[in-house]
A = this chain, B = another copy of it.
Amino acid sequence: MNRMTLTELRYIVAVSQKNHFGLASQACFVSQPTLSIAIKKLEGELGVRLFERSSKNEIRITEIGQQVIDQAHIVLQETRILSEIAQQGKDPLSGTFKLGVIYTIGPYLLPSLIPKLKKLAPNLKLIIEENFTINLYQSLKQGVLDAIIISYPFAEPGIETVPLYEEPFVVALPRDHAWNKRKEIPPEDLAQEDLMLLGAGHCFRDQVINACPNCMLGNSEITRSLEGGSLETIRHMVAAGTGITVLPQTSILHSYHDDERLIDFKPFKAPAPSRTVAIAWRKHYPRKETIATIRETIQASPLNGVEILR
């Protein structure tokens, strides 16, 4: 079982154009016998004579030969299109890229990242999903997402990560809070206060709990009613004087609204608790250059108060 070849199709097209085996073979950069044999083989496979050869004078294309050559043109045209498709796909900054970001990073990172990427890679269609780490990981593993931006610790088999930056946590107090004269807050002091945290599932919640011993002892009803809320919601509640919270440094950049005047941000006492933000992808993901571009874009002009990690 021997099948027809694109080369053979190129040969018969050349013969049909030159009306001459010798000239056609030159046009194909092969010797004349090569072309003769290839066409003979193709004719044998198809079971039809494509050309009428007369010693002198020109070649004549048979009726069926003309139909076959017309179709060969179509086949070759489609292969050319295939090459073009691949050619366009070569650009790592083209096509669609699906990026997942956890809830507690997205609102602070994306507003600056997306316009920069759009400028740097106008042909890259970026699709963003915000979700919990666990859901992003599932989507990444299944191939629904191309990369995700999460917070350490994050180590999964078959997934590679690179840290992007480290951002310290800060304490957010109402202006009239008793601590508003303090320069810095030791993490263990938070145990005394009504600390509002995000619901379960947010890794930021766990990180804060880890960083601040016993802070969950005074676990109030307010905290429970915050399940499903966002950091922004909690910030509003701080402004309203409901309690205090811990926020990532980068969220302060977004405090250009009214809350700003009603909230005091206090750094933690060194060593301040912090989180490491990283980008993760499947180990065998083929478009690593695209990820590198995103990574560089984030690190080239980092958000305020974070430390770039290389």
Contact = CB atoms under 8 A, between A and B. Distances in A.
Interface of A: 3-7, 9, 46-49, 52-54, 56, 60, 62-64, 67-68, 71-72, 74-75, 78-79, 81-83, 85-87, 89-90, 95-96, 143, 158, 282-287
A72 B68 contact: no
Contacts of A284: 52-54
B68 A82 contact: yes
Contact of A47 (B4, B46, B63, B90): B90
Given A4-B6, A64-B85, 20 more contacts: A3-B6, A3-B7, A4-B79, A4-B82, A4-B83, A5-B6, A6-B6, A46-B87, A47-B86, A47-B87, A48-B86, A48-B89, A48-B90, A52-B282, A60-B143, A62-B286, A64-B89, A67-B89, A68-B89, A74-B81
Contacts of A86: 46-48, 64, 68
A56 B282 CA distance: 13
Given A72-B82, A82-B75, A64 B7 contact: no
Contacts of A46: 83, 86-87, 90
A85 B62 contact: no
B68 A79 contact: no
Contacts of A54: 158, 282-284
Nearest to A95: B63
A142 to B, nearest CB: 9
A148 to B, nearest CB: 16
A283 B52 CA distance: 10
A60 B86 CA distance: 17
Contacts of A6: 3-6
A74 B78 contact: yes
B71 A78 contact: yes
B71 A85 contact: yes
Contacts of A9: 82
